[in-house]
Amino acid sequence: MSIKLDLQYIKGVGPERLKILKGMGITSIEDLLLYFPRRYEDRQIRTIDQIRDGQQVTIAGTVAAGRVSGGKPQVITLSIASDERLCQAIWFNQTYILRQYPVGSQVVVSGKVRWRGHVPEILASDIEKLGSASAYQQILPVYSETARLSSKVIRLMMQEVLRFTSEYFPEILPSDVAQGWMERSEAYRQIHFPQDRERLAAARARVVWEEILFLQLACAHLRGNTDEGSSPALNGPNQRLREFVARLPFKLTSAQKRVAREILNDMAGPKRMTRLVQGDVGSGKTAVAMIALLKAVDSGYQGALMAPTEILATQHYDTLRLAFAPLGVQVGQLSGSQTKREREDILCRMENGQADVIIGTQALIQEQVKFARLGLAITDEQHRFGVRQRTALQNKGEYPHVLVMTATPIPRTLALTLYGDLQLSVIDELPPGRQSVLTRKMSAKGRPQLENFMAQQIEQGRQVYVVCPLVAESEKLDLASASERAEALRARFPQYQVALLHGRLKKDEKDQIMRAFLRGEIDILVATTVIEVGVNVPNASLMVIEGAERFGLAQLHQLRGRVGRGAAQSYCILLPGNTETRRLDILCQTQDGFKLAEEDLRLRGPGELLGVRQHGLPELRLADLTRDGRLVEQAYQTMQEIQRNPEPYAALLREAERKFKAAQIGVH
């Protein structure tokens, strides 16, 4: 019966508080039990002799007197006798304190202390009677509050529903696995009202591990089964591959060679390759992808590369067509903006096998797209795609090998959670001679100085990016828009060519502008983040980012990576729109994308980076992927065990499915 009990009938809730709870996203007893404390206060009782000015303290004693002073605000004072000494506990405008805690009451008071002569005053944050039904807690849970719902009230409600933990959170682990963890319902009780720090740590470990495991299982469900069937062994001759490497105008780095060997070894075996290649901006992932594609073609199969934007897809197409033409490899492109005739032609060439390598956007995963013999499916900039889209490309062939690339460094904890089916390769070395991009913050007062520096760079034959967070002016947001900035720069630099690029333009217009910028016909390109990924203009040496605080660290790092691609020293100038610049300081201090990714995860949280709500994945309420790496690894190992032998985990899988379906509700 308690499972079906309405939350409003719980003592301490009622209709009014029910409305407040609904506003907080709490509509059931289970939701309330999943409303975890945001922190805990250590309420070890001290004697008056032990307390020091400015400390947060807890004192136990007897109410010796109480009074209220007139005026506004009203000051309520309880004199509390403790160890034959007095201290004064103070509240403002809370006259009920005198009624609830009359003279003679045994109480525990917590708050910040300040000494007035020889008598300490406690600005009280909490008071309760010793021996009351609420039972004194040495470790006090503190919940996120609203103006009408205090942490103390939430604690009282939580004590009422805590008796339901066994029904809402029954044990779901096999007995042999459960022995290594705190019992499930006990963990949820201890999370809310821990008996000591040791039990709290054990409870948190159980709940966090479970949260991460459910998320990993949901991600695996979205990916589908990638292990059924065998993939083609791509172990054909390496003649064209050797010729390609010999023709390269640069030497491959040791990191590129290592990752290429890992990929080729995987592709040569009968088991499907599922590999994620991470490489910082400019590390040379495209060359590694080209090696993999050539191996597929040399082995008699086709290769496909899916990019998130037409600009990037076209850039890949141009690069591969020029590099592969001397080797006799036919490269085709499929995009949503092609004419009907162009589209029918490439679809025919793909289906009859005349096109060896096909580059495209999401148009590649449409139903009518068919390949003759797809042996390798590559997804570039994976973070721009959902797991369903990557899986859809894989399903275009008979178990093709899968390669996923990203220039957005992903912390290992996040990679295991989101891409748990992928082996990990890291290109952790930049090509020799590549200079670091000097990164600086600048206030609005420094704009004239910045514009002079822009002019200097252009006079030296260089080009400039200016990135804005908005396309057009907004009445609600006081941010520089791309169109507004472009007009201002045209007025400031009438002698230079200033162009505007954003996602609302038609494909032909975007391509025309980018090609003109690549040819050096445009001096200043004002753009939105449409240029974030993949655009390669070696002559561009200055990146100016307006409203820089509006972007995540990983995104800022991507934008910075658009410069520094040539021999000249390059610069990135951050123009924050407000005083929030701590994140930007981190960007100025390091070029290491993996360090920035870890910091981005810590600052923004996994929900935003995972796209939890967009993908309809279960939410992480307690887990912190920046400090719970050990538990992420343990959850990943358990998930692999479940996939090998699911039968003992039937109860856990039913609970995982229930949570996944619940998370799907309301997802757009």
| Tens digits of residue pLDDT in 103-145 | 999 999 989 999 988 889 999 988 888 765 445 678 889 999 8
Distance (Å, whole) CA 81 – CA 83? 7
The CATH number of the domain holding residue 101 is 2.40.50.140
Per-state percent for the chain, helix, strand, coil, to nearest 5: 45, 20, 35
- Give me the pLDDT at residue 352, please: 95
Residue 23 lies in a domain: no
Which whole number is the average pLDDT over 608-629? 68
The percentage of the chain sitting over the pLDDT mark of 90, rounded to a whole number, equals 44
For residue 252, being part of any structural domain is answered with: yes
DSSP β-ladder status, 85-92 and 106-116: unpaired
Nearest C-alpha neighbor of 393 from the set 379, 375, 380, 406: 379
Indicate whether 449 and 431 sit together in one domain. Answer: no
Looking at the structure of the chain, the number of domains it has is 3
Q: Confirm whether 595 is domain-assigned.
A: no
> Domain boundary at 113, 136, 159, which?
136
What is the model's pLDDT at position 479? Answer: 56
Sheet holding 438-441, edge to edge: 438-441, 571-575, 540-546, 463-467, 524-527, 498-501
Look at residue 648 in the predicted model and tell me its pLDDT.
Answer: 94
User: Is residue 196 located within the same domain as residue 301?
Assistant: yes
Pair 120, 173 in one domain? no
Each residue's pLDDT tens digit, 184-215: 999 999 999 999 999 999 999 999 999 999 98
- In this predicted structure, what is the pLDDT of residue 608? 54
Q: 448: burial class by Cβ within 10 Å (0-12, 13-18, 19+)?
A: exposed
Non-local (6+) Cβ contacts of 116 within 8 A are 88
pLDDT at 508 over 80: no
Q: Assess whether 457 and 430 both reside in one domain.
A: no
Q: Which of 136, 160, 194 is the last residue of a domain?
A: 136
258 & 378 share domain: yes
Q: How much is the average pLDDT of 516-530?
A: 90
Contact 109, 140 (CB under 8 A): no
Within-domain flag for 22: no
User: Sorting pLDDT into bands at 50, 70 and 90, what band is 612?
Assistant: very low
Q: Are residues 427 and 459 in the same domain?
A: no
Same-domain pairing of 173 and 103: no
CA dihedral 102→107→110→113, nearest 10 degrees, is: 70
**What digits encode the pLDDT tens for the residues 449-458?**
999 999 999 9
Q: What is the pLDDT of residue 146?
A: 82
Does residue 393 form part of some domain?
A: yes
Question: Residue 538's pLDDT band (boundaries 50, 70, 90)?
Answer: confident
Q: Which tens digits make up the pLDDT trace of 473-506?
A: 554 455 568 889 999 999 999 999 999 988 778 8
How far apart are the C-alpha atoms of 657 and 47, rounded to whole Å? 52
What's the predicted TM-score (pTM) here? 0.65
**Is 146 a member of any domain?**
no
Instruction: Report the chain's mean pLDDT, rounded to a whole number.
Output: 85
- Final residue before a domain boundary, out of 548, 570, 590: 590
Pairing outcome for strands 56-69 and 106-116: antiparallel
The domain that holds 392 is classified in CATH as 3.40.50.300
Is the residue at 119 inside a domain?
yes
Same domain, 446 and 356: no
Q: Where are the alpha helices (DSSP H) in 373-465?
A: 387-394, 412-418, 447-459
* Structure token digits, residue 387: 């797991």
The reply to whether 515 and 557 lie within a common domain is yes
Give the count of beta carbons closer than 10 Å to the beta carbon of residue 135.
10
Which strands form 331-334's sheet, in the order they lie side by side? 331-334, 357-360, 302-306, 374-380, 401-406, 274-279, 423-427
Domain match, 405 and 480 both: no
Q: Domain range for residue 301?
A: 169-435+622-668
Whether 577 is covered by a domain: the verdict is yes
Same domain, 444 and 428: no
Asked whether residue 56 falls in the same domain as residue 124, the answer is yes
- pLDDT one-digit tens code per residue, 555-570: 888 889 889 888 889 9
